[in-house]
Amino acid sequence: MAIILEGCDCTGKTTFAKKLAEKTGFEIVKGSSFEISKLGADGMYQFMFDLLKRKDVIIDRLYLSNLIYGAKYDYPMMTEEQYASLSDMTNLFSLVVYLYAPVGVIQHRMLKRGDDMIEIEDIEDILNRYNEALYGEFRPRTVLSIDTSLIDIDKATNMVKELYKAI
């Protein structure tokens, strides 16, 4: 079983993943990125499918990110059948943790970090796309949503660790 971290840029996925890895001993692996999308639909699908077969791993983004960012930025995307298959696998073998924050907080973090992968004015649309995806056709069944502007990271990562053990 895997823990999948999803969310817009600058929501704290990397920080959360590192802290969670310290507590669990799990490896952190990248599951979706602009670089991985260059594998094309079949290559991405196989890559993500293989990740979902691994145990005790933290996956930094997966098919939901490809669904959102691929459509928004015209990057390669998978077929509906591939998304459905990955959704089914996720529902069987994973806990999805959706990390989010208010638009203004994300924009502030982007400016502070100097992030230039996406535009500040795209944040609201990306958050809306995540909301649609989390309740859409390929939604994961088990999702824990965490507002990273309000949490204590130690408590939140402990909560995820305990929830993972209970599933």
In this predicted structure, what is the pLDDT of residue 117?
Answer: 77
Give the C-alpha separation, 47 to 50, whole Å: 5
> pLDDT tens across 100-125, in order?
999 999 999 999 988 777 899 999 99
> pLDDT tens across 6-57, in order?
999 999 999 999 999 999 999 999 999 888 999 999 999 999 999 999 999 9
Indicate the average pLDDT of the chain: 95
Give the C-alpha separation, 54 to 50, whole Å: 7
In this predicted structure, what is the pLDDT of residue 89?
Answer: 96
CA distances from 128 to 36, 100, 103, 123 (A): 23, 11, 10, 9
Q: Which two tokens stand for residue 35?
A: 């670089």
CB 143 within 8 A of CB 134: yes
Give me the mean pLDDT over the 142-167 stretch.
94
